Amino acid sequence: MGVTAISFLCVLALFLIIGISSIRKKHEDVNDYLTAGYNTPAWIIGLSSVATNNSGYMFIGLVGYTWVAGVSAFWVALGWLVGDWFVWRGFHRRLREYSETHPVNTIPALTSQNPELASSPLRILSALLTLIFLSVYAAAQLKAGSKALHVMFDWPIWLGAVLGAVVVVLYSFAGGLRASIWTDVAQSFVMLFGMVLLCIVAMINVGFPWTLVDELRNINPALLDWTPDNLAFGTGAFVLGWVAAGIGAIGQPHILVRTIALRSPDDVPAARKVYFAWYLPFALLTVTISLYARVLLTGDLSDPELTLPTMAQAYLPDVLAGMVLAAIFAATLSTADSMLLSCSAAISQDLIPRFGQSYVRTKIATLGITLVVLVVALAAPANVFTLVVFAWSSLGGTLGPVIVLRVMNARLTRTTALVMMLAGFTTLITWQALGYSESLYELLPALVVSFGVYAVMRPFYRKEE
């Protein structure tokens, strides 16, 4: 076994140990397994949330997109960040306050008028949507990790996906959401370290940014165009679409459950500061390193999503290459574990409520959904970027508007909520089918249509259901 593999496995073992060590704090009940006892400090939630949000999508998906798109990829990263900031500023505290008066351990429960009513049709539909789209999202994470291992060690694609699934199940079984959160914190440090290390190496080999600009111009002047070609609605709409992508966090169960796990609503501002202190440099580093890689890795890669592991292998000593690979793999695990727990919660708490207080059956649901996600990861032909943005927009456009209105205590009938979700999803599919997603991310029109349905139907209310 080479030095790179040993370095990678050592860091992976560290994550596993941290996750399993959370067993010391756990209580063997469902609420502790799914929400970490509603008692997690702000700085931990900040780092955990940012790690689970910045997943294989950043290390693999956005990097591959930047390889093709050039500097216009900055709009994707910055737009997403700005939208996310709006959500943290105006929504997360209200969500935590709502959970004080309406205790929930799943996000689909938030969509119901009565979160304690497990048989609500709206809650069941929300759970099905969560299960479908988070499974696709989690599969994208396992796929991203397996692609990184394939390029570094020439392992079969299936082996990396299986390894990721096994590691996640081991520590999730041990401590549930608490194990996921603890490992997220460790993974956040490794992820940022890996990006900083690659940026330093890139600058040593290419030079400062002005040199990078000259090199990119020599390769293809189009890489320096801030406006992508053939935008149907202009640059402004393109950027607003990615701001909407950040706002899509309102419908992501694996992120929202971390806010619910906070000790207090008063901890949200502190968590937000930690979140963006990490997120901003990481997002900028991701796109910058991808541009440097365009210069360093001459010729066309067979798969642009393999840019970072290829760069680490070519320009770093073996021990450091192993650590960067661990950072990439950590990014996928930090998101996959959260999604698998959210899916198992949807099964045991929302779809099969008689399992609700069964700790053992909830853990069995985690194992079952992991196997399903693994099969999807091995069978899915699409690239990571495509899988992630589809799943993200689907959750944001269907669950997001309903959750926002519930948390804001707006008057919302079951019929209106169902129509909103159907209208949002129909808009997503239609927008993609029309081929407009490259010009304007489909989540923006979906949000507009969904909230528009509420605005049209609200004046006709006679009484709350």
Q: Which positions ≥6 away from 382 have C-beta within 8 Å?
A: none
pLDDT digits (tens, 9 = 90+) for 42-87: 999 999 999 888 776 777 778 888 988 999 999 999 999 999 999 9
pTM of the model: 0.89
pLDDT digits (tens, 9 = 90+) for 451-465: 999 999 988 776 544
Q: What is the CATH number of domain 3-384?
A: 1.20.1730.10
Residue 150 Cα distances to 97, 245, 322, 369, angstroms: 45, 30, 13, 24
**Contact predicate 402/111, CB 8 Å:** yes
Q: What is the 3-state secondary structure (H, E, C) of 265-322?
A: HHHHHHHHHHHHHHHHHHHHHHHHHHHHHHHHCCCCCCCHHHHHHHHHHHHCCHHHHH
Residue 25 Cα distances to 32, 62, 180, 218, angstroms: 10, 36, 13, 56
Nearest-angstrom CA–CA distance, 176 and 174: 6
CB atoms within 10 A of CB 178: 28
pLDDT digits (tens, 9 = 90+) for 358-402: 777 787 888 888 898 898 888 866 566 677 778 889 999 999 999
pLDDT digits (tens, 9 = 90+) for 231-265: 888 889 999 999 999 999 999 998 999 999 999 99
Nearest-angstrom CA–CA distance, 262 and 122: 26
Specify the pLDDT at position 394.
92
Q: Which amino acid, one-letter code, is at 48?
A: S
Higher pLDDT pick, 10 / 152: 10
**Contact predicate 54/200, CB 8 Å:** no
CB atoms within 10 A of CB 434: 10
> Can you read off the two tokens belonging to residue 197?
């290390």
Specify the pLDDT at position 329.
81
Nearest-angstrom CA–CA distance, 220 and 434: 29
Q: Considering only CA atoms, which of 451, 39, 70, 54 is closest in space to residue 281?
A: 54
Q: Please state, for a pLDDT cut of 70, what percent of the chain lies above it.
A: 94
CB atoms within 10 A of CB 230: 6
- How many residues appear in the chain? 465
Output 85-92 pairs: Cβ under 8 A, ≥24 positions apart.
85/246, 85/276, 86/243, 86/246, 86/247, 87/246, 87/247, 87/249, 87/250, 88/268, 88/272, 88/275, 88/276, 89/272, 91/250, 91/404, 91/407, 92/259, 92/268, 92/271, 92/272
Would you list the domain boundaries of the chain? 3-384
431, pLDDT greater than 90: yes
pLDDT digits (tens, 9 = 90+) for 112-145: 766 555 557 888 889 899 998 888 888 888 887 8
- Give residue 314's Cα distance to chain centre: 28
Q: Which amino acid, one-letter code, is at 236?
A: G
Q: Considering only CA atoms, which of 153, 171, 134, 173 is closest in space to residue 333?
A: 171
Specify the pLDDT at position 464.
45
